[in-house]
Amino acid sequence: MSQFIYLTFDGLSRGLVYAAFALALVLIWRAARIVNFAQGAMAVAAVYVAYSVTNATGSYWLGFVVALLAGMVLGVTVERVVMRFVDHSSPLNGVVVALGLVLILQGTLGILYGNEYLPVETPFSRDAFEVGGVAMLSRYDLFVIGAVGTVVVALTLLFTRTAVGLRMRAAAFAPDVSRLLGVSVGGMLTLGWALAAAAGSLAGMLVVPTELGLHPTAMDVVFVSAFAAAVVGGLDSPIGAVVGGLVVGLLLSYVSGYIDVTVTPMAVLALLVVVLLGKPGGLFSSSKARVA
Amino acid sequence: MSGALLQVEGLTAGYGAAPVLHDVDLAVRPGEIVAVLGANGAGKTTLLRTLSGLVRSAGGRVVFDGSDLAGTKVEHLVRRGIAHVPEGRGVVTELTVDENLRLGGLWRRDRADTKKALDEVYELFPPLAQRRASAGHQLSGGERQMLALGRALVGRPRLLLLDEPSLGLAPKVTGQIMALLRDLRARTGLAVLLVEQNVRSALSIADEGVVLALGRVVVRDKASVLRDDADLRHAYLGF
């Protein structure tokens, strides 16, 4: 029982990171109908920026803030300079360009920082509190919950309560109609990429210290899990991204705890197969959106 | 033709190399309803899409309220006072009725008047007021048309470009929409460029009719004349 409780908390904490990253994928998919395969490499680039800033100044928090801002700048740059010019006549075009970006970013980071794993510290202890001898959450887990929770709440408020959020949703669902109503669809697209890249950078900042360390390919495995989470959730649903992230996080935690850590990639695939067989559009996608 | 709100001269446009519209001339004066008629594929929808900039023109001029619209971005058109309600009603089906209507006024600076316009639309279309929180895809065809029209009105346009408002609607609903347009024109001086396949109902409210065939204007005359000209109706309008 105590192992179950520990694995559950560990899974939820990991799942929130996947949720943040899946949100990044969903935001871009909704706005641009591109699966941004470069999201992982972009997030790693932001974490490297944080690494440099923290090393230079000694402040984790300064590095943290700069990473999110750098992520945004990178997101805007990728959209404005690269993705905007991709021919959308075939859905594969965007994917191929994104994969090219991965190679460029990873290569550049390798040249600048080297291809060794660099140790990155967490701002809080990762030792779990024990309640009645049962390991539960660590301070760092609480930080993860708070950070991702803040992002989810902020995005929810943005989309449901603000004029900008309404514009962003309209531009994503019906670009031509939105333009006729005075919405700058291009501007909303850029904003979507900025927000997505910030969410992706946050996920990178949270997950990299808990794994092997900082490396140009540090987010590759996370990308696979988070992409699965986004697809399970429906790919166009922010709620689906969060739920999908938590489901994948829990699944990975239970599988690695009860079976073996080497089986986890298969578990993710099995989850994808089961969910997509039952609900081809994902859990939270309206079937209409798939037809369109 | 002086005093025109919208003046179109020699407009040529299309998709790719082959033009769909050839040398189209027309004018809409303030408070006037001009019906664009013609068979499927005559270029009616392309005409509206070119006027609003969704399709690039290959030649000719579009002058609105004295200034050339060339180079005006699609998203700035609504600020000039032109509202385009596209074919298929253009309701954002994923958004609610209220969100769709608010979207129609987001560009406006005058918040108080936007709120007032929104209330007026709800008054004008009671079915919408009852379904504020319903998603667009839950609405009937007639309700969607009301929503698209209402959303355009929130922006208090001076010219409405209306594409096939009767498409797929019951004759009774079509009649209501036509009556509403006539009423709006009388109350607000709204000018309408109305694209319709339903020739009878369009000519019943229009002041002038422009008949397009294969992208060219073949007849341009008073609606009353077109209504009574049996030869013309047989030749181009099919009734």
In a domain, A288, yes or no: no
A291 vs A281: CA distance, rounded Å: 9
For chain A, count helices (H), then strands (E): 12, 2
Burial A214-252 (b: 16+ CB within 10 A, else e): bbbbbbeebbbbbbbbbbbbbbbbbebbbbbbbbbbbbb
CA A35 and chain centroid, separation: 12
In a domain, A166, yes or no: yes
Residues A123-157: tens digit of each pLDDT: 998 888 888 777 788 999 999 999 999 999 999 99
The DSSP 8-state label assigned to residue A212 in this structure reads T
Contact A167 B102 (CB under 8 A): no
Using a CB–CB cutoff of 8 Å, tell me whether B137 touches chain A. yes
A9 vs A126: CA distance, rounded Å: 13
Whole-number pLDDT of residue A131: 80
Contact B155 A176 (CB under 8 A): no
Residue with tokens 């180079």: B71
Using a CB–CB cutoff of 8 Å, tell me whether B133 touches chain A. no
- Out of A173, A179, A184, whose CB is closest to B92? A173
- Out of B54, B78, B93, whose CB is closest to A181? B78
Interface A-B, measured as beta-carbon pairs within 8 A, has a size of 70
Q: Which of B60, B89, B64 is nearest to B77 (CA)?
A: B64
Q: Which residues of A touch B109 (CB under 8 A)?
A: none
Contact B77 A180 (CB under 8 A): yes
In a domain, A227, yes or no: no
Using a CB–CB cutoff of 8 Å, tell me whether B75 touches chain A. yes
Q: How far is CA A172 from CA A27, A79, A196, A267, A269, in A?
A: 9, 15, 14, 33, 29
Per-residue pLDDT of chain B (239 residues; tens, 9 = 90+): 458 999 999 999 988 778 899 999 999 999 999 999 988 888 999 999 999 989 988 899 999 999 998 888 999 999 999 999 998 768 999 999 999 999 999 999 999 999 999 999 999 999 999 999 999 999 998 899 999 999 999 999 999 999 998 888 888 888 888 999 999 999 889 999 999 888 888 999 999 999 999 899 998 989 988 888 888 777 776 66
Contact B92 A166 (CB under 8 A): no
Q: Which residues of B touch A159 (CB under 8 A)?
A: none
Start-to-end CA span in chain A (Å): 46
Q: What range does the domain containing A55 cover? A: 2-219
Neighbours of A22 (CB within 10 A): 34
Three-state DSSP at A35 gives coil
Work out the pLDDT band at A289, boundaries 50, 70, 90.
very low
User: Which of B49, B94, B151 to probe by mutation at the A interface, max A CB count within 10 Å?
Assistant: B94
B74 vs A184: CA distance, rounded Å: 9
Q: Phi and psi of B107, rounded to 5°?
A: -75, -15
User: Which of A177, A237, A291 to probe by mutation at the B interface, max B CB count within 10 Å?
Assistant: A177
- pLDDT at residue A28 above 50? yes
- Across chain A, what does the average pLDDT equal? 92
Question: Between A168 and A89, whose confidence is greater?
Answer: A168
- Out of B75, B83, B95, whose CB is closest to A169? B95
Using a CB–CB cutoff of 8 Å, tell me whether B102 touches chain A. yes
Whole-number pLDDT of residue B42: 87
Whole-number pLDDT of residue A290: 41
B86 vs B45: CA distance, rounded Å: 8
Contact B107 A182 (CB under 8 A): yes
Contact A180 B83 (CB under 8 A): yes
Q: How far is CA A183 from CA A171, B116, B181, in A?
A: 7, 21, 26
Question: Between A130 and A122, whose confidence is greater?
Answer: A122
Work out the pLDDT band at A197, boundaries 50, 70, 90.
very high
Crossing angle of helices A238-258 and A220-233, in 10° steps, is 120
Whole-number pLDDT of residue A212: 87
- pTM score: 0.88
A155 vs B91: CA distance, rounded Å: 24
Residue with tokens 């309404």: A166
Three-state DSSP at A237 gives coil
- Would strands B82-85 and B159-163 be described as parallel, antiparallel, or unpaired? parallel
Are the C-beta atoms of residues B34 and B41 closer than 8 Å to each other? Answer: no
Class of residue B63 by CB neighbours under 10 A (exposed 0-12, middle 13-18, buried 19+): middle
This complex has an ipTM of 0.91
Q: Domain B1-81+160-174+192-239 adopts which CATH fold? A: Rossmann fold (3.40.50)
B163 vs B129: CA distance, rounded Å: 24
Neighbours of A156 (CB within 10 A): 14
Using a CB–CB cutoff of 8 Å, tell me whether B76 touches chain A. yes
What is the nearest CA distance from A93 to chain B, expressed in angstroms? 22
Using a CB–CB cutoff of 8 Å, tell me whether B56 touches chain A. no
What is the nearest CA distance from B232 to chain A, expressed in angstroms? 34
Using a CB–CB cutoff of 8 Å, tell me whether B151 touches chain A. yes
Whole-number pLDDT of residue B1: 47
Domain count of chain A?
1
Q: Long-range contacts of range A207-210, CB-CB < 8 Å, 24 or more positions apart?
A: A207/A14, A207/A17, A207/A21, A208/A44, A208/A47, A208/A120, A209/A120, A209/A121, A209/A122, A210/A122, A210/A126, A210/A140
User: Beta-strand (E) ranges in chain A?
Assistant: 128-131, 134-138
Q: Which residues of B touch A179 (CB under 8 A)?
A: 54, 74-75
Using a CB–CB cutoff of 8 Å, tell me whether B220 touches chain A. no
Are the C-beta atoms of residues A189 and A171 closer than 8 Å to each other? Answer: yes
A209 vs A63: CA distance, rounded Å: 13
Whole-number pLDDT of residue A177: 93
Whole-number pLDDT of residue A292: 36
Using a CB–CB cutoff of 8 Å, tell me whether A166 touches chain B. yes
Contact B103 A179 (CB under 8 A): no
Could you give the percent of chain A with pLDDT greater than 70? 98
Pinpoint the residues of chain B covered by CATH 3.40.50.300.
1-81+160-174+192-239
Whole-number pLDDT of residue A286: 60
